[in-house]
Amino acid sequence: MKAESAAPALGLRIRQLDLAKDGGRAVDELRALLLEHQLLVIAKQQLTSQQLMDFGRGWGELMTHPSSVARKNPYVQKLANQGDVKGKGFGAWHSDMTWHPTPPWITMLHAQTIPISGGDTGYANQHLAYESLDRASLDKRRMFRRHLATQDELEGLHAFHVGKGFGEHVPDSVHPVVRTHDETGRKALYVNPEFTSHIVDVTERESERLLWPLWLHAVTEEFTYRHRWSTGDLVIWDNRSVMHTAILDYDEPRSMSRIVIQGNVPV
C-alpha cells in the first residue's frame, strides 16, 4: 500500500491496495489514516455491491438511506443519471443525513461510470473551518457583510436539521453547531445549507446572522479538496468533520454506489 497527500486541507490517496482481497485486514490501518486525514481515496477498486457491504461492515453497522429503501439491497444506494445536467452548477454543501438522530460517521462512494469531463465532488474540512474562526481577517469579515461568529459565540448553540425532502417519514433532529469528534476530540463546524434550517433558541434574525457567514466561511478554498473521479475510485470520508458537494457540470452518464456507516449522537 502506497499513500500520498490529496490536498493540503484534507485527504490521502492510497494505491496498490486490493480491497476485494485485503480489505478486511486493512480496516484498522485505514481507520487510523482516516482519523488523521479525514478522507481517503483508494484507487482502482473492482467491488460488487456485496463486497462493498462486506468491507463497510468492518467499519461498523450499515445504515439505510431513504432514497434507497425500496431497492433490492437497502444498504447500497445507487446514485446514477444519464447526464444532461450541464449548466446546473453546484449541489448544496452538506454532511450526509444530519437530520438523523445518529447521522452516519462514514460515507463510502464507489465510482462505476464516470463522464469524460466534469462530475467532480468537492470536500471541505470543518475542523479547519472551526479552528480558523478566530483568525479570520477583518477583510474576510467585511466581505461577508455580516458578522462571522467567534468560537466563544458558538459555544452551546444547537441547530435544527430537516430531511423532509426525502419524505414525511424522515425524522428531524437538533445537533450542536460545533461538534466534538468522538475519537480525536477536535471540534468542527456542524451546520450545512442543505439540511440545517435554523439555530434554536434565538430569533430568526439572529439565526440568519450566524448561519449565512458560517456557511460561506466553511467552504473557503483553503479548507477544500476537489476530487476528480476515475473509474474504480473508492472515496471514504468522515462526516463528523467533512462537508461535500456534487458539482453538476457534466452531460454524460455517471453512476456510483454508496454506503453509510452508523454514527453516534453528535455532542
Q: In the chain, what are the domains?
A: 2-83+102-122+227-261 (3.60.130.10), 126-218 (no CATH)
* pLDDT of 83: 56
Segments in 5-137 forming alpha helices (H): 19-37, 49-57, 126-131
* pLDDT of 87: 47
Strands (E), the chain: 2-5, 12-15, 39-42, 62-63, 77-81, 89-90, 106-113, 121-125, 158-161, 173-176, 178-180, 187-189, 196-199, 224-227, 234-238, 242-248, 254-261
206-221 mean pLDDT: 94
95-115 mean pLDDT: 97
Q: Out of 98-102, 124-128, 141-145, 146-150, which region has the weakest mean confidence (pLDDT)?
A: 141-145
* pLDDT of 84: 57
pLDDT tens digits for 131-169? 999 877 555 655 665 588 999 999 999 999 999 888 888
**125 pLDDT exceeds 50?**
yes
* pLDDT of 29: 96
pLDDT tens digits for 58-69? 999 999 988 765
